[in-house]
Structure 1
Amino acid sequence: MNIVNRHFLTIALSASVIALVLPVSFLWVKPLIPFLLGLIMFGMGTTIRLHDFKDVWEKRRVVFLVALLQFTLMPGLGVIISRLLSLPEEVMIGMVLVGSCPGGTASNVIVYLARGNVALSVTMTMFSTVLAPLLTPGIIFLLLNRSVDISFMALFLSVFQIVAIPLAAGLLVRHFFSGIVTRYSDILPAVSVVSITLIIACVMALNADKVMSLPLVVAAAVMMHNMLGLAAGYGAAKLLSCNRVDRRTVAVEIGMQNSGLGVALANQFFQPLSALPGALFSLWHNLSGIVLAKYWAREKRER
């Protein structure tokens, strides 16, 4: 199983290229995405303990900082980058939509693979998700003078089912069957690698037409948005004197948005072109996250 973990980036990129050239090869994964995410979250749950969440309470100011940056810095960057690159208005709307969304489940997965602070990552995602139904429409109205409607219960229940329930199950399994968990501890990361690879490839397949016709300037804008978010998160956590593991966790949480929500809002309330940044963000932030996870996990082993 170690070979799967070691070649994660190569596997993910290869699958993405295949999905781009032959989309039908990964479209079958779409209905399985909630199950695969749940499986990943279960594996994450087996790596953490209840007292890890007690530690998170002591770091609550970090949780508030991340929420503040997610709902101010990221939408603001969407506007600034769009204006600097002279993007069309509908594309700028898509950039702001992505920036106004809460953290996504993908951030938890990348933190897990990077051997970061999973309990902190999950807490930050849940907190920003609770705030999103109020703050996301407010930010969009403030910056774009457009109205959108987000169902609190639908968004919260979706995250609760995909994140909280499988995570709690993993926690319980670790607590009551620690011997079994230890015995199979090398398998669960490999299962997560395969699962996230399938999800990335499926997202690529679903958006193959958009990606193939993608203007390079939009790709550059999305990459800048993600990378600046990662850098700002790391820098802000450093200013708060967070340890290295928590800095990485904060960076990933801010740099990786719930881009799926951004795509859904774009398709529901705006022109199809506005969904393009969110679709590309879904692809890019997973790939950039994999690179970081691979680098950070290797660095930790070397220490």
Structure 2
Amino acid sequence: MKKISDFISKNLAILVLVCTAFALFYPSISNIIKTSYVNYLLGIIMFGMGLSVRASDFKELFLRPKDVIIGIFAQFIIMPFIAFVLIFVFKLDSALAIGVALVGACPGGTSSNVISYLAKADVALSVSITSCTTILAPIITPFITYLLVGKSIDINAISMFISIIQVIIIPILLGVLAHKFLPKITEKLQDILPLISTFGIVAIVMSVVGANATKILDNLGIILVVVMLHNVLGYLLGFFAGKIFKLELAKQKTLAIEVGMQNSGLAASLATTHFAAYPLAAVVAALFSVWHNISGGILATIFRRF
């Protein structure tokens, strides 16, 4: 099972791409994996994250507070800024604007830690930034979303705050508690955690893509351009932020990966829960998940060479 789990997690990008294509041309899959399941699927992923969280993941905040704080600020400034620029430059309609804003406002994704390892970046720093931004998400994500699109769309920031607590913080805390009080069981689960997370990500993407297949095909060009620019510019500006603060190369790589790779599962969850009237918002998040897993692998290959 561990070998199967490792193989699938290493080939996540290919698996997500294949499943996305399947959902696009066989949209009836959404009748099986309904969009109403997205919150539960994300909760499972976050529970898995909680099982793997250790107190040592936060020690970097105390040992190297400057590095972690730079990462947190870079995460919550650069991606929202890029989102704002993309919304303005491409004059995106409400649905796409919401999707881009949500992706930009979310914390770093857990896959960034794997990519940091493959890229020979600072993995400890990566885990610390991901953990800290995830904990801050209930407050910061609704606030940034409101700043980006709140003037044109009615946003209930309190309701978003509660949703993030429910689908992110509570599952993580349950995972941490399970690891503490049921160590023998959770140790056995460690081997299949990548498989569980992969299943969750793929299921979320297939659900959202299948439910909106026609609209995706009608708007595929603009969505892909915006998603790719958001991600790649995040990598670039994250890397240069590390240079500006004169961090060493490994940390510059980490910042690039942390900034560019978002928790798009959370963005999809918020979109389906709070912006159901704008289904393309969730599509932006789903396709971001597809693309950043592909681009992350490419970036890791490049970074390994220097």
TM-score tier, shorter chain, comes to: 0.7 to 0.9
2:75 is matched with 66
Task: Describe the superposition over 1:42-95 as per-residue Cα deviations: whole angstroms up to 9, x where unpaired.
Answer: 111222212322423622243123222233332123323x1xxxxxx4x35555
Amino acid at match of 1:111: S
Count of aligned positions: 284
- Contact kept? 1:76, 1:99, Cα under 8 Å: no
Unaligned runs of 5+ in 2: 118-122
**What does 1:126-275 align with in structure 2 at a 5 Å threshold?**
126-140=135-149, 146-214=151-219, 216-240=221-245, 241=247, 243=251, 244-253=253-262, 258=267, 261=270
More displaced stretch, 164-173 vs 251-260: 251-260
Separation (CA, whole Å) in 2 of partners of 1:253 and 1:215: 20
Separation (CA, whole Å) in 2 of partners of 1:29 and 1:247: 33
Q: Deviation of residue 18 (structure 1)?
A: 1.7
Amino acid at match of 2:291: S
Separation (CA, whole Å) in 1 of partners of 2:273 and 2:27: 21
What SS does structure 2 have at the residue aligned with 1:220? helix
Gap change, CA 1:3 and 1:256, over 3 Å in 2: closer
What SS does structure 2 have at the residue aligned with 1:71? helix
1:111 is matched with 112
Q: Deviation of residue 279 (structure 1)?
A: 4.4
Report the aligned-residue RMSD. Answer: 3.5
2:11 is matched with 7
Task: Describe the superposition over 1:1-24 as per-residue Cα deviations: whole angstroms up to 9, x where unpaired.
Answer: 233223322322222122111111
Unaligned runs of 5+ in 1: 83-88
Q: Deviation of residue 293 (structure 1)?
A: 4.7
Separation (CA, whole Å) in 2 of partners of 1:5 and 1:139: 34
**Is residue 33 from structure 1 mapped to residue 33 from structure 2 by the alignment?**
no
Identity %: 22
Q: If the length of structure 1 is used for normalisation, what is the TM-score?
A: 0.76
Separation (CA, whole Å) in 2 of partners of 1:288 and 1:20: 15
**Is residue 16 from structure 1 mapped to residue 20 from structure 2 by the alignment?**
yes
Task: Describe the superposition over 1:168-212 as per-residue Cα deviations: whole angstroms up to 9, x where unpaired.
Answer: 222223334444434432211111111211111111101101112
**What does 1:260-299 align with in structure 2 at a 5 Å threshold?**
261=270, 276=280, 278-294=281-297
1:100 is matched with 101
Q: Deviation of residue 283 (structure 1)?
A: 2.9
